[in-house]
């Protein structure tokens, strides 16, 4: 499979947040952008116009929040149909979701772990296939952070690979989640990385987290990426090549110039992996002053 067929976007991307309205973001600074479709479906007015301006200028991917693929509740097919319309309206290149669940007789506002069991593999894979049938396209599931593994019968890696294979879907590779889980559950992050199916990777996420303790990391997306996570991302590029990678930041969002520095670091590592000349993200005067 060629890179152009495997990857819906290229380069280094950034999660677009409403707090960035008024910032002077250009394609020189980010190769692609990502939004959560639930935050934008049906939004009009100035926010709707602002999003349209960006989707006309940048390649976009979407990362869902509320599909709740492992939930005991019936699949929300109305939501899936709304996402399908959103994808078509904005020419979205890829739709991804979390391999977790967030509802049970109502939304729980947290991403909870699916039991690592054979029964759960069949259940989740069937729901993913149904989503793909409605959307008429493949979706990517993200390896998620988790803090408990109730009823565990197989490893996280075995469970993830089994779901991807049975559902015949793709993978959103979250590098920070590997680091967080490897610390919290005491496994080798590189061994996990090497066990992933390269042919299913669509793009990657990198983010910061919170150190609750030396042996407890919390996936927050509220801090800069730390050096061990950067090194794991570099290792991913060594193994898989320069996978398109997006910087996530969901709160404590700094001025765009600071985010741009991290996006530039992604590009630098990607370039090093291909042997080409580095491309740095140069903030404009407006960006440098946070306007």
> What pTM was estimated for this model as a whole?
0.89
Which residues, in sequence order, are CB contacts of 258 under 8 Å at separation 6+?
A: 224
pLDDT attached to residue 1: 38
CA atoms in the 13 A half-sphere facing the CB of 124? 28
Could you tell me the pLDDT band of residue 278, with boundaries at 50, 70 and 90? very low
**Is residue 2 scored above 60 in pLDDT?**
no
The residue that leads in pLDDT, 230 or 18, is 230
Q: Which of 104-118, 147-161, 188-202 has the lowest mean pLDDT?
A: 104-118
Q: What number of H helices and E strands is found in the chain?
A: 10, 12
Strand ranges in 178-279 using DSSP code E only, listed in sequence order: 201-206, 210-213, 216-218, 245-247
pLDDT attached to residue 219: 75
For 134-187, how does the pLDDT look when each residue is reduced to its tens digit (9 = 90+)?
999 999 999 998 888 888 999 999 999 999 999 999 999 999 999 999 999 899
**Is residue 58 scored above 50 in pLDDT?**
yes
The residue that leads in pLDDT, 282 or 11, is 11
Asked whether 131 and 176 are in contact (CB, 8 A), the reply is: no
Average pLDDT in the chain: 88
For 199-233, how does the pLDDT look when each residue is reduced to its tens digit (9 = 90+)?
999 999 999 876 776 777 777 777 899 999 999 99
Mean pLDDT of all residues in 253-273: 94
Asked whether 121 and 75 are in contact (CB, 8 A), the reply is: no
- The angle, 0 to 180 degrees and rounded to 10, between the axes of the packed helices 227-240 and 256-274 is 40
Q: Write down the residue that tokens 């992050």 correspond to.
A: 189
pLDDT attached to residue 188: 97
Domain architecture of the chain: domains with CATH: 3-288 (3.20.20.150)
CA angle 237, 165, 142 (to 5 degrees): 50
Counting residues of the chain whose pLDDT is more than 90, the rounded percentage is 70
Could you tell me the pLDDT band of residue 70, with boundaries at 50, 70 and 90? confident
């Amino acid at each position: 499979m060629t890179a152009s067929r495997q990857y819906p976007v290229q380069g280094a991307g950034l999660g677009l947040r409403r707090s960035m309205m008024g910032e002077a973001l250009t394609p020189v600074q980010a190769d692609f952008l990502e939004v959560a479709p639930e935050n934008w479906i049906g939004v009009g007015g100035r926010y709707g116009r602002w999003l349209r301006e960006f989707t006309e200028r940048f390649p976009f991917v979407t990362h869902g929040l509320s599909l709740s693929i492992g939930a005991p509740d019936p699949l929300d097919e109305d939501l899936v149909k709304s996402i399908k319309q959103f994808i078509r309206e904005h020419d979205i290149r890829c739709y991804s979701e979390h391999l977790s669940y967030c509802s049970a007789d109502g939304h729980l506002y947290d991403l909870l772990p699916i039991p690592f069991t054979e029964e759960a593999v069949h259940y989740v894979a069937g729901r993913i296939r149904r989503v793909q049938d409605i959307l008429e396209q493949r979706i990517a599931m993200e390896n998620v952070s988790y803090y408990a593994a109730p009823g565990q019968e197989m490893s996280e890696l075995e469970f993830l690979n089994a779901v991807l294979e049975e559902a015949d879907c793709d993978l959103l590779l979250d590098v920070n989640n590997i680091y967080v889980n490897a610390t919290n559950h005491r496994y080798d992050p590189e061994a996990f990385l090497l066990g992933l199916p390269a042919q299913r990777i669509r793009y990657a996420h990198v983010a910061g987290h919170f150190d609750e303790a030396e042996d407890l990391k919390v996936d927050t997306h509220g801090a800069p990426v730390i050096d061990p996570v950067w090194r794991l991302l570099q290792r991913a590029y060594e193994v898989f090549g320069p996978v398109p990678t997006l910087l996530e930041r969901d709160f404590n969002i700094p001025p765009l110039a600071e985010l741009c520095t991290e996006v530039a670091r992604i590009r630098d590592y990607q370039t090093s992996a291909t042997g080409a000349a580095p491309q740095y993200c140069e903030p404009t005067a407006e960006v440098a002053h946070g306007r």
